[in-house]
Structure 1
Amino acid sequence: MTARPVWLTVLLLGCCATLIVTFILLGNWQMRRLAWKTDLIETVESRAFGEPVDLPERFEPDAHSYLRVRAVGQFEMDKPVLIKAVTGLGPGYWLMMPLLAEGRIIWVNRGFVPAQAQDPAGWALPDLPVTGLLRPSEPAGTLLERNDPGAGRWVSRDVEALSEAVGLGETAPYFIDADHNADETAWPRGGLTQLSFRNTHLSYALTWYAMALLLFGAVAYLTISRLRR
């Protein structure tokens, strides 16, 4: 039998070592994601289900995201914007509407409307004061699509771009996901903020670590067997 060239053995060992390191790094990344997801779940549980509080003087995403708040003001009823959305109720739009409150412009996500309910005449009147959850602005667009204000196509809730598109001034760097206080069958349907999060990062991390360990064991076994021969 012809002996395997040394360079080929070195190449195979290098590829295996690269894969082992890659698996470990992926496991480490999943562990970081686990810590982030755990913090997110704890944050939502501590902020989203309490009594509504006044708007913060200065918005800090880490400190105020998902905080339940109340706001009093006047809606600009002639400046609604529909944002493309997919929810548990199906495809449709988020209804965004500016609220003039406390000397600033605050965009409110009044809730979901299906494609067949885009006519404002069929929308329920907004409740005041507004209660809901603070969410940071979503600039530019999504991973797959971009906002196109000129064409009136919106895929994310970029509050600064929304204000510029409808001719409003300085805008708070967040929006409020409003509660649903109208009839259960009325549109828009608020209160659809996702508050439960799937957390499988630990199982993914253990899978990557197991793959690294198994590959290392296989390489070690084959290497020892070859040296013995």
Structure 2
Amino acid sequence: MENAYGKVWLIGAGPGDLELLTLKAVRVLASADVLIVDALVDPEIASFAPRARVVTTGKRAGCRSAPQDFIQRLMRRYARQGKTVARVKGGDPLMFGRAGEEIAYLFDNGIEVEVVNGVTSALAAAASLTVSLTHRDFGASGVTFVTAHRQDHSAPDWATLAAAGTTLAIYMGLGRACEVADGLLAALPASTPAAVVACASTRAERRLVTTLGQLADDCRAAKMPAPALILVGAALESAVGDSLPAARAVA
């Protein structure tokens, strides 16, 4: 008997600005029967899915959110009803979005799944700062995407990451800015350029340009809100200036 199940699309909504949606994302949203949307996604995204039932599954730092297992069972339930399900995540679903868990779960349950990429917040943050994450003049030949928030609450090996010489794009690190800075200072000078971009690409965006040595103190003083992306590395030199002055907040 032919499988009558529907299909799940894992869609990246980007960092917040709906104009950063891809044409493919807009097309898929228009065909969706069900929209399962994370909290960090602009609710106006529902306007691109006029016939879809909207289900909100919030995931915000420090707030109670829908358990991952519940979200996966929700996708399975609607797909088994033959519906087209759009699972919409902030940023890119393949970048710290638990897409691996969801893809495996759906495959194990015989449900077709396809991914539509979105702009991840590190790229939006760099665009906001008008800096390149790679830069030949500063020896930045790569970018390392890393989360400061592991499932077992352990910290990454910051010293090893710092020694790699890449630009570091640190997700979910704002609440651990002191720990992050201390770990990186084991291998990097305090004068290393650093920046924090909160709510990148949205009307609420805030930018803090600083140095690694001042990172934790400046984040506290500026009361930077979450979600925020921390960038560290020589490629940010143009954002902080040649003389590496004391931190300056840019509204």
Q: TM-score, normalised by structure 2?
A: 0.25
Higher-Rg structure is: 1
User: Is the helix fraction higher in 1 or 2?
Assistant: 1
Q: TM-score, normalised by structure 1?
A: 0.26
